[in-house]
Amino acid sequence: MLLWVLRHDHQETIVVTLKSKAELEIMYRANQLVARILSDLRAMARPGLRTIELDQFAEAEVVREGARPAFKGYRGYPSTLCISVNEEIVHGIPGKRVLQDGDLVSMDLGVVLDGFIGDAAITVPVGAISDKASKQLRVTEEALFFGIEKARVGGRLYDISSAIQWHAEKNGYSVVRVFVGHGVGRQLHEEPQVPNFGRRGRGMPLKAGMVLAIEPMVNEGTHEVRILSDNWTAVTLDGKLSVHCEHSVAITEEGPWILSELSATEASVSQDMQQQTARGLHVGNIHA
């Protein structure tokens, strides 16, 4: 997600690129690739795996499909995935960290396919997680869907934000303020910024052809964050649990179109991939 940029000048013009039907179809393909790889990663996440192994798998798949990683090289970010475990909120760099039973792992993937970005994130349990963690995961996923439900022509931008904030806070959680969702298209970060907090009925009018990456970050305790010395990993200031999930959503006359929701076709590709991986046939370097 984008670092929230405060705008002091409210007269400033914000340029939002609207996508044509043909462009949305390309973005759909990019996001379906993201969704399929995230589905594979969900199946792979288990105790004992190093986070770098997930990153290597994701990168090999992105390249094999003729796409390229969107985050790698972005402002110097070194990896294909962002992997953020437990108190890590977002932008965790894959590495030697070994997944443990009970961990809650956010995996965020961006790709570029035929000039357009696909961007989505899931949080998955590793082994058996606590009831407390599983409730926070459920509420965050629900908050995302309540937000998506507001991504409609005739609505306003902060209808999305307030639906997310309301659901998270009603359940006793806080929403992160310094990182926000974003418009997405040819660029990873386009206008408008999509905060996970705000007032219903405010913000710009929503138009058909907008594509928004909606990505709640929901904390167990304080909403405040701290950045680790790697200059990327954002963690909760109080060390408590954080959950993050993201969909890229197109606003259409027919309602919200979740570009990154796994289709039946891609789900079966994912199943094949998982069977191949289980039989050791897959040629990626995950077993290296």
Q: State the residues that interact with Co ion by CB under 5 A.
A: 1, 119, 213
201 touches 156 (CB < 8 A): yes
Q: Which is nearer to ligand MF3, 26 or 34 (CB)?
A: 34
156 lies in the binding site for ligand MF3 (CB under 6 A): no
Which does residue 33 touch among Co ion, ligand MF3, none (CB within 5 to 8 A, set by kind)? none
77 lies in the binding site for ligand MF3 (CB under 6 A): yes
- Tell the smallest beta-carbon distance from residue 111 to ligand MF3 (Å): 11
In the chain, the N- to C-terminal Cα span, in Å, equals: 31
Which does residue 2 touch among ligand MF3, Co ion, none (CB within 5 to 8 A, set by kind)? ligand MF3
Which listed residue (85, 168, 213, 286) binds ligand MF3 by CB under 6 A? 213
Judge residue 78's burial from the number of C-beta atoms within 10 Å of its C-beta, 0-12 exposed, 13-18 middle, 19 or more buried: middle
Q: Which amino acid is at 242?
A: S
Residue 173 per-residue DSSP state: -
Q: Report d(CA 103, CA 238) in Å as an integer.
A: 17
10 Cβ contact partners less than 8 Å away, ≥ 6 residues apart: none
Which listed residue (19, 29, 36, 91) binds ligand MF3 by CB under 6 A? 91
What is the H or E stretch that residue 240 is in?
Answer: none
- Print the binding letters for residues 53-72 with ligand MF3: x by CB under 6 A, - otherwise: ------------------x-
* Residue 104: strand, helix, or coil: strand
Q: Site residues (CB under 6 A) for ligand MF3?
A: 1-2, 71, 74-75, 77, 82, 91, 108, 110, 119, 121, 182, 188, 213, 246
